[in-house]
Amino acid sequence: MSTKPKCIIVTGRGGSGKSTLARVLGERLWMPVISRDEIKEGYVNTFGVGHDQLPPDTNRIVSNLFFEIVNHYLSGMVSIVIEAAFQHKVWQPRIARIVEIANPFIVVCTVDGEVAAQRHLQRGLDDPHREFYHGDKAVSAYRETGILGPPGSYVAPEFDLPTVHVSTEGIYSPTVDEIVNQIKLG
């Protein structure tokens, strides 16, 4: 039996349902959830200015802090669920350390690009503070033009690690129970 903590990595493109699924998994697995976006929101609050007024390296600073926090929890033997929209190239230099100190399990949220873009836009329209905290130009562009921009590309992480791809269009497939069982077995 491994004494390493588990690190459940929930990732996917913006609007794919990562945050929602991560919270559900955290509750079901009795693990804390660490969200890169929530760390960024705390960072923006410290300065009290909108994302666009922060230093240009803000995203790098916040991402580095996210991984420091993740590694701190894992080094402390705390199993966690982590959630971020990072693409393969961002996970690549960080995954070796996670594998060294934890048993990772990757959950990739998948959804049609148009559906993800619509969800992303709707989230911004529903929350007037989103652009302030995340510099999300999709909402302001939509308000100006009435046109939904094209979905961004996303390259999911691909490592030789236990991974499940979850369709988040409607009911989760596989189901939350099936995902939890895979994680517990892995």
Query: What CATH code is carried by the domain that includes residue 95?
Result: 3.40.50.300
Number of domains into which the chain is organized? 1
pLDDT in tens, 18-77: 999 999 999 999 999 999 999 998 999 999 888 788 888 998 999 999 999 999 999 999
Query: For residue 183, how far is the Cα from the chain centroid?
Result: 18
Predicted pLDDT at 140: 56
Q: How does the average pLDDT of the chain come out, rounded?
A: 86
d(C-alpha 176, C-alpha 178), whole Å: 5
d(C-alpha 11, C-alpha 156), whole Å: 8
For residue 176, being part of any structural domain is answered with yes
* Maximum distance among all Cα pairs of the chain, rounded to whole angstroms: 57
Amino acid at 183: I
pLDDT in tens, 153-184: 778 899 999 999 999 988 999 999 999 999 99
For residue 101, being part of any structural domain is answered with yes
For residue 1, being part of any structural domain is answered with no
Q: What percent of the chain has pLDDT over 70?
A: 80
Mean pLDDT of 117-132: 66
On the question of pLDDT at 145 being above 80, the answer is no
Question: Where in the sequence is the domain holding 159, given as residue range(s)?
Answer: 6-185
